[in-house]
Amino acid sequence: MNALSQRRGRRFSLSPAEGERAGVRGPLLANALRGSGKGVMASVFRFTISAALASFLMGAALAKDEPPSKIILDTDIGGDIDDAWALGFVLNYAGFDPVGVTICDGNTPARANIACKLLHVTGHTNIPVAVGRKTRDDFSPQFSWAEDFTALKPIAQPAADFIVEKARKYPGEITLIAIGPLQNVADALRKEPGLGKSLKRAVFMSGCVYHPAGQTNPVPEWNVVAATKDAQLVYGAGLPLTIVPLDSTTLVQLKTDERERVRKRDSPLTSSLECLYRLWLESPDSRMTLHDQLAVAETATPGAFFGQRPVLHIYVDDRGFTRIDEQKGKPVTVCLQPRRDAFMDYYVGVLTH
Ligand SMILES: [Ca+2]
């Protein structure tokens, strides 16, 4: 049995007992992929779209004569590094009108401090941060970046209540982007089972349908297996759901020159992201996998960065696998075959414009 799970953060965020409960055994998938992902990318995915086309995509999205899209970002910021960089994407993308940021999984108050500080230093203090239920007393080095930060506080309203209230206030307008375990989305559904009818879309970094890069079998993905019961409720709720699974995200890792482009911009945002990146680094050759940013990109320009988006019937089994089953599953749009270089040009362009 392949019981390997994708731990989406520092390994020591989980105690051994917690890791065992979450199905994390053996080396981290991200570590296993280092050194092999490049070859897989070259051999399997040869989609190369020029930087010019990426710029065109960004310009086309921004040039639309439409109001910015209302979004809520549900995040476990402070674990893996991609959440902070995904929040940076949200804040710098002119096509979004962020209604709020909600915080899920583990030490949610500490995670919320990071989101609040990032909003403060980038001048987005009008965007509320709502905290979800605390599920563990974990610690991450990124927490230290904001441990004494008090200039901007989260709102008192719990995250699930916030999601339900805003979905009711703006029916059919909000895209809920969930890039962490699904406790807050599940809690919102417990309060409002008809939430799916109020949302425009739900776009999650979630699941593993066929296999991650460099593997041959599916694995339980962290955002599902970390709260499997909650994920089962959410996948069964009939949301207008699109997922970006590990099948795609494990093919997209940050290159040194791309990190340098962001660092050299030297804005309050990019300086903060570089600082958090250094706190996250485990070794000089650590590389960020851009799991969560791909879900944000799919929200910004639907379909632009994936070669295939089939609608599959997906359910979550008791071990946290996302399985295809016509009878048990609900229809989910699954983003496959990422256009890595086009996405990266687009994404770095948004962070540095
Ligand atoms: Ca995340």
Alpha carbon distance, N-terminus to C-terminus of the chain: 46
pLDDT above 70: residue 32: no
Half-sphere exposure of 82 (CA within 13 A, CB side): 26
Ligand 1 centre to CA of 267 (Å) is 23
As a whole number of angstroms, the distance between CA 235 and CA 243 comes to 10
As a whole number of angstroms, the distance between CA 206 and CA 219 comes to 12
Tell me the pLDDT tens digit for each residue of 317-328.
999 999 999 999
As a whole number of angstroms, the distance between CA 284 and CA 276 comes to 14
Question: What's the confidence (pLDDT) of residue 241?
Answer: 98
Would 17 be classed as within a structural domain? yes
Question: In the chain, what percentage of residues exceed pLDDT 90?
Answer: 81
Ligand 1 centre to CA of 275 (Å) is 18
As a whole number of angstroms, the distance between CA 146 and CA 89 comes to 20
As a whole number of angstroms, the distance between CA 304 and CA 339 comes to 8
What's the residue count for the chain? 353
Look-up of token digits 């902070």: 84
List the beta strands (DSSP E) in 104-253: 129-131, 174-178, 199-205, 241-244
Nearest to 71 by CA among 265, 300, 272: 300
pLDDT above 70: residue 191: yes
Query: Which is higher by pLDDT, 27 or 330?
Result: 330
Ligand 1 centre to CA of 75 (Å) is 6
Protein residues near ligand 1, an ion, with CB under 5 A: 76, 83, 179-180, 292
Would 4 be classed as within a structural domain? no
Question: What's the confidence (pLDDT) of residue 57?
Answer: 54
Tally helices (H) and strands (E) across the chain: 16, 11
pLDDT above 70: residue 27: no
Residue 283: which residues within 8 A CB-CB, separation 6 or more? none
Ligand 1 centre to CA of 112 (Å) is 13
Question: What's the confidence (pLDDT) of residue 284?
Answer: 86
Residues 149 and 119: beta-carbon distance below 8 Å = no
pLDDT above 80: residue 53: no
Of 31-35, 166-170, 201-205, the poorest mean pLDDT is in: 31-35
3 state DSSP class of 216: coil
Q: In this structure, what DSSP letter does residue 35 have?
A: T
Ligand 1 centre to CA of 291 (Å) is 8
Would 177 be classed as within a structural domain? yes
Count structural domains, the chain. 1
pLDDT above 50: residue 22: no
Ligand 1 centre to CA of 140 (Å) is 13
Rounded mean pLDDT, 130-150: 97
Ligand 1 centre to CA of 80 (Å) is 6
What are 125's two structure tokens?
A: 């203090």
Ligand 1 centre to CA of 328 (Å) is 27
Question: In the chain, what percentage of residues exceed pLDDT 70?
Answer: 82
Number of other CB atoms surrounding residue 274 within 10 Å: 16
3 state DSSP class of 330: strand
Would 5 be classed as within a structural domain? no
Ligand 1 centre to CA of 225 (Å) is 13
What are 265's two structure tokens?
A: 């911009």
Tell me the pLDDT tens digit for each residue of 217-254.
999 999 999 999 999 999 999 999 999 999 999 999 99
Would 119 be classed as within a structural domain? yes
Would 2 be classed as within a structural domain? no
For residue 66, name the pLDDT band (cuts at 50, 70, 90).
Answer: confident
Tell me the pLDDT tens digit for each residue of 142-174.
999 999 999 999 999 999 999 999 999 999 999
pLDDT above 60: residue 353: yes
Of 42-51, 117-126, 258-267, the poorest mean pLDDT is in: 42-51
Tell me the pLDDT tens digit for each residue of 70-107.
999 999 999 999 999 999 999 999 999 999 999 999 99
Question: CA 59, 85, 336 angle in degrees (round to 5)?
Answer: 70
Question: What's the confidence (pLDDT) of residue 101?
Answer: 99
Ligand 1 centre to CA of 211 (Å) is 19
For residue 25, name the pLDDT band (cuts at 50, 70, 90).
Answer: very low
Residues 84 and 276: beta-carbon distance below 8 Å = yes
Residues 221 and 317: beta-carbon distance below 8 Å = no
3-state secondary structure 64-117: CCCCCEEEEEEECCCCCCHHHHHHHHHHHCCCEEEEEEEECCCCHHHHHHHHHH
Ligand 1 centre to CA of 312 (Å) is 23
pLDDT above 90: residue 193: yes
Ligand 1 centre to CA of 39 (Å) is 25
Ligand 1 centre to CA of 65 (Å) is 31
Report the C-alpha dihedral over residues 149, 155, 160, 166, rounded to 10 degrees.
Answer: -130
Rounded mean pLDDT, 316-340: 98
Ligand 1 centre to CA of 185 (Å) is 14
Query: Which is higher by pLDDT, 27 or 88?
Result: 88
- CA 109 to chain CA centroid, nearest Å: 19
Would 213 be classed as within a structural domain? yes
Look-up of token digits 């982007």: 177
Residue range of the domain that includes 132: 11-352
Ligand 1 centre to CA of 20 (Å) is 20
As a whole number of angstroms, the distance between CA 226 and CA 241 comes to 19
> What is the domain-level CATH number for residue 294?
3.90.245.10
Mean pLDDT score of the chain: 87
Rounded mean pLDDT, 193-199: 98
Tell me the pLDDT tens digit for each residue of 269-313.
999 999 999 999 999 889 999 999 999 999 999 999 999 999 999
Would 6 be classed as within a structural domain? no
3 state DSSP class of 194: coil
